[in-house]
Amino acid sequence: MGGKNKTSQQRHGSKKSNVAANKLNDSPEALQEVKNHLGDGAAGNIMERIKMAEKKKKKKSDAVNTVSRKRKAEDNEKLAVKEEETTLESVNQFIPTPLSHIPLKILMDIEMELVYTDEEDISFEFAEPVVSTSTQSACHDSKKADAASAPDGSTLPQIDKQLQMTLQEASACYRQKNYTAAAEQFSTALELCSKGAAIDHPFESSPEDISSIASFIETKLVTCYLKLKKPDDALNHSHRSIILNPAYFRNHLRQAAVFRCLERYSEAARSAMIADYMYWLTGGTEQHISKLIKLYWQAMIEEAITREEAFSVMYTPFAREVKAGKINKIKDLFAKKHPDYKERIYTDPHGLHILPQMAGWPSLPPQKYLLTLGFRNKHIGKVLERWSSRKLPIFSDRKAPFCPLTSEETKRYWDNTGKSVVPVIDFIRSTKLTDNRCACSPGIEKLHYASLLGRLGRAEEQSQVINQAMAELATIPYLQDISQQDAKLLQSLMADAMDILEGRSDKGRVWNKIQQIGLIEDYLYQVEDNYLKNKRLRIARTQRMRMKRIQDAQQR
């Protein structure tokens, strides 16, 4: 990867992008589905640009770039099968498929259509369960606002007049491309909401209506800061818009756009995956919108794989339950295909992975995949396997329960282990919608990570990760059915996370207790393992002494 930086710059140029065509395709049917379903309008233009980009890639191939990218392509190769029913019955059926790069210009077009759309209406998404069909304009006069009605015929709540005027000014600045002034006005509007000036008669409205208004303002702040090229400032606003309204797919897509600008591609891929799921869940029917989201998701996965040097990946499709013997065959195949990443090979045992090539969510069940990871560093692979063996996820720098490390030890742990494990966890989540271990697993992992950042003295990053964890937790009930026990755990995690954001200590929190329980289990396991090991040694020593006495007696 010596030419990695040069290659990255060329890829992100509009006309000089030159990407190796023999890169592994993680979703073999993606491009064909895009051709079938993105037929007209902006989508048609997008596909035309893809064709032109492919022609340019054939004509303009740089020798040095091709060699450097080809090596990475071989390392990140994914294999697909011809027949789903016979998957894993014959390892020889895996077929390497080239991965086509999606140009940056295409992603910018998708963002312009789906992320930067100039929404003037505040959607009261909770006026009717799941699907929202009613909106109330923030820029219309009070008479038009009075006329708005909910799907059940009741009148929607009227926005406070002062807040309405502030939103009108902010929208005017946004349309004039004065994004700095627009951000200031939207920030003022958010302050008014926090002081209770959201709806004229708050006691006659539900808390969800106020959440819809606040979420709308947060999303406008996200777009303003993205326009100002300040993704760091947009990040927390994108998280909070999801916390306030997790059912709106554009909130997740805007979060994906922020992550893309920050070059956090695995997290961007997960946000895009959830956005597509939410679009169908809340009644979206336009196939071309879903295909654009999937294309964006595909691009983020490509970027995550291409830029990662510490590990390589392989997705294996399957139709039935996979037994241990088949997993061993998959690992053997991975070792042959990726000889540079066989120090430790790990197959994710928790949850099924999906890729963005499937058809509409409601009509067809998604193809299931197993994710196999290979590491250059054996230690990182072992840590990941040890963590995945627990019933609940633990991101810990402690070697024993109730034994916190010093600041120096914590920093050493982060440098040697933590900062290498976090990207792996984020990548695993980029194609895993649910977790069969615990519904709250994604949020718990982030909260453990936030605690570690707190001990390292990185308060701003800790705050961002806690907001991200809360967004994950707020989304979980929409992704899967949760038990009563998981619901209680989710509420406790959200309450404790909010306490920390308000400045209270993080000691005695739910995720800390989970961490201690896990460490106690590890400690007891080690004690038991040492006991059995010592017992075997004692038995072996006794047998040797007995044999020696028998031999001595025979000699005498």
User: Could you tell me the CATH number of the domain that includes residue 199?
Assistant: 1.25.40.10
Q: At what angle do helices 249-261 and 287-307 cross, to 10 degrees?
A: 30
C-beta of residue 314 within 8 angstroms of C-beta of residue 77? yes
Closest Cα partner for 154 from 125, 134, 131? Answer: 134
Dump the DSSP string for 531-554: HHHHHHHHHHHHHHHHHHHHHHHH
In a domain, 256, yes or no: yes
pLDDT attached to residue 521: 53
How far, in Å, are 18, 333, 403, 449, 517 from residue 514 at the CA level? 48, 36, 15, 13, 5
How far apart CA 442 and CA 469 sit, in angstroms, is: 7
In a domain, 162, yes or no: yes
C-beta of residue 475 within 8 angstroms of C-beta of residue 490? no
How far, in Å, are 21, 24, 25, 62 from residue 58 at the CA level? 9, 17, 18, 10
Residues 6+ apart with CB under 8 A from 269: 256, 297, 300, 301, 304, 430, 431
In a domain, 15, yes or no: no
C-beta of residue 266 within 8 angstroms of C-beta of residue 238? no
pLDDT along the chain (556 residues), means of 10: 41 37 37 37 42 46 45 44 38 37 88 85 49 35 38 57 89 93 94 79 70 90 96 96 94 96 96 94 88 93 91 87 82 91 88 74 74 91 81 63 72 88 93 87 88 89 94 94 89 86 72 60 53 71 81 82
Cα Dmax for the chain: 115
pLDDT attached to residue 26: 37
Helix (H, G, I), strand (E, B) or coil at 245: coil
Single-letter residue type at 275: A
How far apart CA 237 and CA 468 sit, in angstroms, is: 10
Domain count, the chain: 1
- CA torsion sign for 286, 102, 469, 519 is positive
In a domain, 52, yes or no: no
pLDDT attached to residue 528: 57
pLDDT attached to residue 506: 64
In a domain, 549, yes or no: no
How far apart CA 63 and CA 58 sit, in angstroms, is: 12
Expressed as residue numbers, the domain containing 192 is 99-118+157-305
C-beta of residue 256 within 8 angstroms of C-beta of residue 300? yes
As beta bridge partners, residue 375 has: 311, 344
pLDDT attached to residue 28: 38
Helix (H, G, I), strand (E, B) or coil at 67: helix
In a domain, 173, yes or no: yes
pLDDT attached to residue 252: 97
How many CA atoms does the CB half-sphere of 549 hold within 13 Å?
6
In a domain, 294, yes or no: yes
Closest Cα partner for 293 from 259, 264, 250, 262? Answer: 250
Single-letter residue type at 395: F
Closest Cα partner for 96 from 430, 336, 337, 335? Answer: 337
pLDDT attached to residue 396: 61
pLDDT attached to residue 27: 37
In a domain, 432, yes or no: no
Number of Cβ within a 10 Å radius of residue 555: 6
The label of the residue with tokens 């195949």 reads 333
